[in-house]
Amino acid sequence: MESVPPIRFTLGRQSSMAPDRGSGSDSEDEEIDGLDAIDPRVRLMFFSSEGNLDGIKELLDSGTDVNFKDIDNRTALHVAACQGFCDVAELLLEGGAEVDPKDRWGSTPLADAIHYKNYDMIKLLEKHGAKPLVSSYACCVLYKLLTVSYNSLSFMPPMAPMHVKNAREVPEYEIAAEELDFTDSVDITKAIIAVVPSPLSNILLLRSLLVGTFTIASWRGTKVAVKKLGDELFTDKDKVRAFRDELELLQKIRHPNVVQFLGAVTQSSPMMIVTEYLPKGDLRPYLKRKGALKPFTAVKYAMDIARGMNYLHENKPEPIIHRDLEPSNILRADSGHLKVADFGISELVKVTEKVKKEKLMSYSDTTWRYVAPEVFRNEDYDTKVDVFSFALILQEMIEGCQPFFMMSEDEVPKAYVANQRPPFNAPSKCYAHGLKELIEECWHENPEERPTFRKIITRLESTYYSINRRRRWKVRPLRWFQKMEMMWKKEDSERSSRDRSSHI
């Protein structure tokens, strides 16, 4: 077996996956002194980069290894594929060249041809049985786009605004569109919010732009929730970059009271966000069906919401402001707990900054019934807007009706601005253990007076403990009487049996 000389072939185009990939040396102007003295296997790679058919044929006829690999595991076929010399590739393949050898970075001749868009080379390698790198969805997409007929395109998902050419740049959260099965799926119209850059340099805003589609699908045998996003949301590079940053953030979010982000489709259109599917739905129809909840249940649910929101607000380096916290964005898990949803469709702000609205939101952007007055007044705001919304949700769970349910949607925010708040109509015992005071603090007119969710959790845990202890005290006497009743019945039965026996 011939030894492998310690050489790296750097002439011409380099591997499509090499980290320091460049154009290499200009092979057309490069002259190598003493070419005849160089190892014939290296000369084979040089002739392949030059398109020298006669030189290649002479070397192959003399027994030169057509599958020789340099120190980077690149072959003459890799070189020919990068340069686009189809006649050279044909000659090498006829001489016994392997069609799918991988270099040290995992790139094949076909992958190199795809990267450099050498259309005829792609067809040639495909004819000889070359296969795309199926582990990379981006590579497969580009492969399909380049190998279709020049006159008629076969079906393939169109490239998306976030599409990348290099397979190594595909994000970790990427889900191939063909993995999502929408057979017998259910579509639900739901507002979609997209990211837009803020004029404040260090603030990223995500704002509702249009209505999207929320769909139930199957992914790898599991039901998931999918939001489809139109390409019109991402009309410039800034929006695409901002959305990419948001997805990278969502990938890191992990909390039992926050809906789990599973991945996204970004390399084909339509782009999609995939999250866990909670079949019990959101809190809105549940409250409509149940009406007023018992204080114990309301506080239990409130703790779930507060814990999820506290996790988002304490995210580092930037807190995540929901700004659209309402019952329809709170989902019910099979375990009986609640999870905050649509948090990624929110606003990311620096800890030291407040968000300044550039324009007044329209009523179609969100429901004003749960929005803090400073947002309606088009003022600076921070995480405390979510605390205001939380207070309204907690009160609604106890009262059994929406805030200001007798008012129209456009009248409610005006009432908040006038420092009016929904009345406490439920019996005072429903607001025991400081619940009423907590709600009033949370919807305080001055955002700075509203507590953080960390403090809210502490208050709620104390309230929950007090209510639960009282419930146990009520249950114990009942169980004692039930137990005594069973004993009395048992004694009566035994006494009757003894009486019958004595008569016999």
Q: Is the pLDDT of residue 65 over 90?
A: yes
Q: Rounded to the nearest 5 degrees, what angle is found at the Cα of 107, between the Cα atoms of 102 and 112?
A: 120
State yes or no: cis peptide before 422, omega within 30 of 0: no
Beta bridge partners of 276: 224
Tracing tokens 């030894």 back to the chain, one arrives at: 3
C-alpha triplet 294, 300, 301: angle, nearest 5°: 90
pLDDT exceeds 60 at position 199: no
Rounded Cα distance, 10 and 85, in Å: 17
Per-residue pLDDT averaged across 446-472, rounded?
91
Please count the other Cβ atoms lying within 10 Å of the Cβ belonging to residue 40: 17
User: What is d(CA 74, CA 71) in angstroms, rounded to the nearest whole number?
Assistant: 7
Confidence at residue 476, expressed as pLDDT on a 0 to 100 scale: 55
pLDDT given at position 503: 58
Residues 206, 349: Cα–Cα separation, whole Å: 10
What CATH class does 35-156 carry? mainly alpha
Sign, Cα dihedral of 430, 433, 435, 436: positive
* 162's tokens: 């976030």
**More confident of the two residues 99 and 247:** 99
Rg for the chain, CA atoms, rounded: 34
CA distance 143 to 140: 5
Q: In 332-431, where does DSSP find H-type helix?
A: 373-376, 384-399, 412-417
Q: What is the pLDDT of residue 99?
A: 94
Q: Long-range contacts of range 178-186, CB-CB < 8 Å, 24 or more positions apart? A: 179/219, 179/220, 180/217, 180/218, 180/219, 180/224, 180/226, 180/265, 180/272, 180/274, 181/217, 181/218, 181/219, 182/215, 182/217, 182/218, 182/226, 183/218, 185/215, 185/216, 185/217, 186/215, 186/216
pLDDT tens sequence across 251-297:
889 999 999 999 999 888 888 889 999 989 899 999 999 999 999 99
Residue-range domain boundaries for the chain: 35-156, 179-461
* Residue 19 reports pLDDT greater than 70: no
Say which range, 39-43, 69-73, 135-139, has the weakest mean pLDDT. 135-139
Mean pLDDT of the chain: 79
**What is the arithmetic mean of pLDDT over 13-37?**
55
How many of the other CB atoms lie within 10 Å of CB of 445?
15
**Is residue 60 scored above 90 in pLDDT?**
yes
DSSP per-residue letters across 233-298? G--SHHHHHHHHHHHHHHTT---TTBPPEEEEE-SSSSEEEEEE--TT-BHHHHHHHH-SPPHHHH
DSSP state of 11: B
Q: Mean pLDDT, to the nearest integer, of 457-475?
A: 82
Looking at residue 401, what is its pLDDT? Answer: 95
C-alpha to C-alpha distance for 47 and 58, rounded to whole angstroms? 11
The pLDDT of residue 478 is 55
User: For residue 26, what pLDDT is reported?
Assistant: 43
Better pLDDT: 450 or 236: 450
Opening angle at CA 250, ends 246 and 252, nearest 5: 125
Contact yes or no for 403/368 (Cβ under 8 A): no
Phi-psi region at 336: left, alpha or beta (left = phi > 0; alpha = psi -120 to 50): left
Is 324 designated active site? yes
Least confident of 86-95, 108-117, 254-263: 108-117
CATH number of 179-461: 1.10.510.10
The single-letter code of the amino acid at 401 is C
Instruction: Determine how many CB atoms are found less than 10 A away from the CB of residue 335.
Output: 9
pLDDT of residue 208: 37
Determine the pLDDT at residue 135.
47
Tokens of 73: 């595991």
Active-site residue, from 304, 324, 382, 386:
324
Residue 113 pLDDT more than 50? yes
Identical topology for domains 35-156 and 179-461: no
pLDDT (tens digit, 9 = 90+) per residue, 129-185?
A: 988 765 444 555 555 545 444 334 444 455 667 777 666 677 888 898 889 998 877
pLDDT for position 309: 96
Give the span between the Cα atoms of 249 and 247, in whole angstroms. 5
pLDDT at 405 over 60: yes
